Amino acid sequence: MTNPGGFLEPFLGSVVPWLYHESQFWTAFGLIGNLMFSLRFIVQWLYSEKRKELVVPDVFWHLSLWGSVIALIYALHVDKLPIILGYFFLPILYARSLILLSRGKRRGAKTA
């Protein structure tokens, strides 16, 4: 069964037909993305509680990136424009945060 009336399926359906077929895999995939994206806040909260101050650990950005990538792929599967646009730029933002984090660590290693 395909997703009728999708936004991108007319353009991508012949290239990646598996993206538009419903299955239990897609439900599990979407749940994993949502879980990863949500876990970042729990991890951040636990780190902050442990240190008794607001802390944003490195793993927060990794969970943000990969959770948003999976959510974007799932949004492409669902093929609804508002959902796609909601996740489209997030991986770019989180990847940039990881780049800045990496640069900061390299600078810190050079001065140590």
Domain residue ranges of the chain, discontinuous segments joined by +: 23-105
pTM equals: 0.84
What value does the mean pLDDT of the chain take?
Answer: 91
What tens digit of pLDDT does each residue of 14-65 get?
899 999 988 999 999 999 999 999 999 999 999 999 999 999 999 999 999 9
**CB-CB contact of 63 with 41 (8 Å):** no
Q: Please give the structure tokens belonging to residue 3.
A: 């997703």
